[in-house]
Amino acid sequence: MLSLRTAARHHGVALRPDLPVHNLPLHRRLPSGTRPIQTATVKDADIARLAAKPLHPLTLADLCKNGRPPLSKQSLLSNANFTLSILPSRLAHRIQSLRSLPYIVVANPNVNKIHNNYVHSLSTLLPYAERKIETLEEEIKFTEAMADLVQTHSNTIAILAKGFLEARKYISKDEVTKFLDEHLRARIGTRLIAEQHIALHMSSKPHNDLSDQDQHKEDEDSSFIGVIDTELKPAALVRACENTVGEICELKYGVRPTVQIVGSPDATIAHIPMHIEYVLTELLKNSFRATIEAGMEKEAIEITIAPSPPPPEPAGKPSTSPEDLPIDPATNTPAAITTHDQGAVDAASSSPKPTASTSPNIRPLSHATPGVTIRIRDRGGGIDPSNLAKLWEYGFTTFNEDEIHDKTSGSGGGGMAGLDMLSGGAGQGSELAGLGYGLPLGRAYAEYFGESVGVGD
């Protein structure tokens, strides 16, 4: 129990979404194998039965409904039972979805590993199935199962990407995109639920009774509800991402562009830091690379943070939409993220999906808290019109086929491994570009609760 708490002591800076665990600093690593997780054999009948249940559409309200930490014992158990009620069927849906892919794709060792990971995770949850969690001991074991789940699936995207790259002869790009869109969006939700429970567990009363006084005080003042930061400062995130991406840049190119923040740097919103961090990192990676390769590293990349005024009534016109952005086709490539904390619904369940890529902001709901628009403007030369259509495809990258061979051959060369270790990771892969997942995945994160990403060229 102590090690679990130590591990999450800095729960305020939550886990990065898709980072290989070995890249985390020691104190942030989850305990692996401190206690063996109880598993049950997963039968096909179990999967079929669980997949037959409809998916519960996840909302931000769901994540916060058990109150602000520190949580009482009742609230904690209630959260555990809520998590338990929706996770198994989400996992079962993922397994069925994987099994609907052509056999030869699922037989690929990488894709197969991911499939087996999901079956394993379901096996850790089956012992709790059909029961309610009623004691703190059970809840601790359950949280360990959550930790195991988060850890097992931390590297899913890189492995899946490699698998689909290897199997590209046997499945069309459209099918891959369709499958990944749904799968990765669902994955966001599943991880979120698990990480939220772990974070709430860490900051709850029963588990902190034995801790030192400082920690207790820290928790009471914290602005966090689990993984949600109610006083998140986008500007701080931007600076953090700028640093990380800048380091990789320097490693690869020897120079790094600067970033200038304009607008309202002091604006705060309530959101999940790691999601926004991921999107920002991917966009900055693109911008930095384009800027340097266009020879414009002296020019600062301008990032505007514009808090949206609270709308007078629901369904009001949104503050900015991509069409409003000033466009200078010759030199400018503004990319806009709009985050509206709306308590809207995640798109991976049966509720209607938001429409295509550059859809403007979704209408905020009546109880919307103010959101923010972040615009990233670089002078990296723009996007080639022929590539515009493929922007949102998974696996599309302007790196050439030789690089792809490097990635699939597995040897990769010492260079990549070195980058892996040194850069401490910013998003998956930790090299500057190449897997082709940054934009579509970034959009998935941004759109998860109904926000959007737009690209103006």
Partner 1 sequence: MRVSARNLLKNTLDLPPSLRTQAYATAANTSAAQPCTVPPWRPSNVLDDWVARDVRPISLRQLTFFGRTLTEPRLLESANYVRLELPTRIAHRLRNMQTLPYTALTNEHISHVYELYYGAFERFRKVSEVRNLDDNDRYCAVLKQTLNEHLSVIPRLAMGVLEIQDTIGPDQSDLLMKTLLRSRISRRVIAEQHLALTETFHSPWHFPNAKKPATLTPEDDFVGEILLKCNAKEIIEKCAATATQLASKAYGSEVAIPKIVLQGHLDTTFPYIPSHIEYIIGELLRNSIQAVIEQKGSSEPPPIEVLICEAAQHVIIRISDQGGGIERDVLPYLWSFAKGPRRYRRLENLATVPRLKATMQELEPGAASHSDKVKHGSSLSSLSSRPPELRLGMGLPMSKIYAKYWAGSLELHSLEGYGCDAFLQISRLGNKNEVLTTRASMDAV
Footprint of partner 1 (CB under 8 A): 44-45, 48-49, 51-55, 93, 96-107, 109, 112, 169-170, 175, 178-179, 182, 348-350
Interatomic CA distance for residues 134 and 136, integer angstroms? 7
Give 44 or 384: the residue with its C-beta nearer to partner 1. 44
Cβ 394 to partner 1 shortest distance, Å? 15
Cβ 351 to partner 1 shortest distance, Å? 9
Please report, in angstroms and rounded to a whole number, the separation of the first and last CA atoms in the chain: 52
Interatomic CA distance for residues 11 and 30, integer angstroms? 12
In contact, 73 and 136? CB cutoff 8 Å:
yes
Give 100 or 213: the residue with its C-beta nearer to partner 1. 100
Name the token pair of 389: 């259509």
Cβ 355 to partner 1 shortest distance, Å? 15
Interatomic CA distance for residues 87 and 193, integer angstroms? 8
What is the residue whose two structure tokens read 């006084």? 213
Cβ 59 to partner 1 shortest distance, Å? 17
Interatomic CA distance for residues 228 and 235, integer angstroms? 17
Cβ 284 to partner 1 shortest distance, Å? 33
Give 113 or 216: the residue with its C-beta nearer to partner 1. 113
Q: What per-residue string of b and e applies to 211-220 under the rule 16 or more CB within 10 Å gives b?
A: eeeeeeeebe
Interatomic CA distance for residues 1 and 231, integer angstroms? 29
Give 43 or 298: the residue with its C-beta nearer to partner 1. 43
Q: Which residues lie below 8 Å from residue 442, measured CB to CB, with a gap of 6+? A: 278, 279, 282, 283, 453
Give 177 or 332: the residue with its C-beta nearer to partner 1. 177
Cβ 447 to partner 1 shortest distance, Å? 16
Cβ 49 to partner 1 shortest distance, Å? 5
DSSP 8-state assignment for residue 52: T
Give 10 or 43: the residue with its C-beta nearer to partner 1. 43
Give 101 or 325: the residue with its C-beta nearer to partner 1. 101
Cβ 119 to partner 1 shortest distance, Å? 11
Interatomic CA distance for residues 439 and 218, integer angstroms? 36
Give 118 or 278: the residue with its C-beta nearer to partner 1. 118
Give 57 or 307: the residue with its C-beta nearer to partner 1. 57
Residue 331: closest CA among 257, 381, 384, 385: 381
- Compute the Cα dihedral for 260, 300, 438, 109 and give only its sign: negative
Cβ 411 to partner 1 shortest distance, Å? 18
Interatomic CA distance for residues 360 and 338, integer angstroms? 9
Interatomic CA distance for residues 420 and 163, integer angstroms? 19
Give 100 or 400: the residue with its C-beta nearer to partner 1. 100
- What separation in angstroms does the CA of 54 have from each of 51, 100, 136, 188? 7, 18, 29, 18
Q: Is residue 413 classed exposed, middle or buried when 0-12, 13-18 and 19+ CB atoms within 10 A define those classes?
A: exposed
Residue 441: closest CA among 193, 180, 248, 227: 180
Cβ 99 to partner 1 shortest distance, Å? 4
